[in-house]
Amino acid sequence: MRENVFQAIDRQYDKMVETRRYLHQYPEVSFHEEKTAQFIADTYERLGIPYESHVGGNGVVATLKGGKPGRTIALRADFDALPIQEENDVSYRSKHDGAMHACGHDGHTAALLGLAEALAPYQSELPGTVLFLHQHAEEYAPGGAKPMVEAGAIEEADAVFGTHLWVNAPTGVIQTSKGPFMAGADRFEITIKGKGGHGAQPHQTKDAIVIASQLVTTLQQVVSRRIDPLKTAVVTVGTLEAGGAFNVIADSAKLTGTVRTFDADVQDLIISEMEKITKGTCQGYDADYDFLYEKGYPPVINHTDEAEIILENAPKADTSLVTEEVDPVMAGEDFAYYLLEKPGAYYFTGAQIPDHYYPHHHPKFDFDESALPHAAKTLFQAYMSYQEKHPS
């Protein structure tokens, strides 16, 4: 049955590409994915696979119960887009101004739907139950995974697996790690409240831009001088906004940025140190401030046994595939919430276009569509390998 499903996935390739390109043309950003969710639901309706819509928001969960005993395993794909104006000149370019699938979620959805279509005819031979977990709003905290978990989407699952098409790895390479894999991702906003004035009379002001500039530099010392060098963290200031004009000293400035960590103690220390530095710097200039820190997604911590399933068995899905155990990356992912509830693993499916490399979230992002069957096959292989390792 397994080889038949793999062959069926290969036959689904053109359909997966068609689905991916359709979704790419009609992107919907986080928490606004109504038509995308309906498209997914309509596919399961056509396949005759029972499904539930509006799970934790716009989520869709379909259930394929096999004819043989076995475990229940969730396979996840996200389907939201980003608020980015596409710059690619392709036939499937986004038709929605200011919205783009710039991270591959259209491909994730196409791969999981392709797997469902390939697998449906073999339902009677399938051990256990597949939960096709289609998640909304991965890109924007608080995300879609947490409310889907709270809605009971994986309550019956014994394990959960997911993959991300990854343009940082060549097509044919499968990457994951045992334990920490992706970082927790937080957001901060610091508003400096100074006193504006004429550019020719700085002594009568409390220059918010000078204060903010001092903070940009000093905040970098949190990681370099307060965090154990054997632990990992990132503090990045992404924006600095201030009013005024070329001859006007601004009375306020705003910094926004992100913090990435793998350890809760490190996260707490960074929050404390950032606020101390902000307070001390502003006091030194006799200015006021507002400090807002929002904890985002927790880190993605793979379970060792399930990560080993990916590393040891993914090449069985396709002889062209190789696996690599890699160091964690500092990008964030709300797949973390599933792994807090159930055993599982998240992994990257290489999808790099050699002559068109632009990173995730870039206006010219695109991926190698020949990786779509790799994603579908390795998800199914993980499903089958888990069944074999944990017979019911």
CA distance 194 to 206: 5
CA gap 117, 121 in Å, rounded: 8
What contacts 84, CB < 8 A, 6 or more positions away?
A: 98, 99, 100, 102, 361, 363
DSSP string, 77-124: EE--BBS------STT--SSTT-B--SSHHHHHHHHHHHHHHHGGGGG
What's the residue count for the chain? 392
In whole angstroms, what is the distance from residue 280 CA to residue 273 CA?
10
Structure tokens at 116: 């469902």
Q: In 3D, which of 187, 206, 217 has the Cα closest to residue 289?
A: 206
Distance, CA of 170 to CA of 159 (rounded, Å): 28
What strand order describes the sheet that includes 173-176?
51-55, 59-65, 127-135, 68-78, 159-170, 344-352, 173-176, 322-325
Task: Please give the positions annotated as active site.
Answer: 80, 138
Helix, strand, coil in percent for the chain, rounding step 5? 35, 30, 30
Residues 6+ apart with CB under 8 A from 338: 74, 76, 145, 149, 154, 160, 162, 344
List Cβ neighbours of 231 (8 Å cut-off, separation of 6 or more).
262, 263, 266
DSSP H/E element including 18? helix 13-25
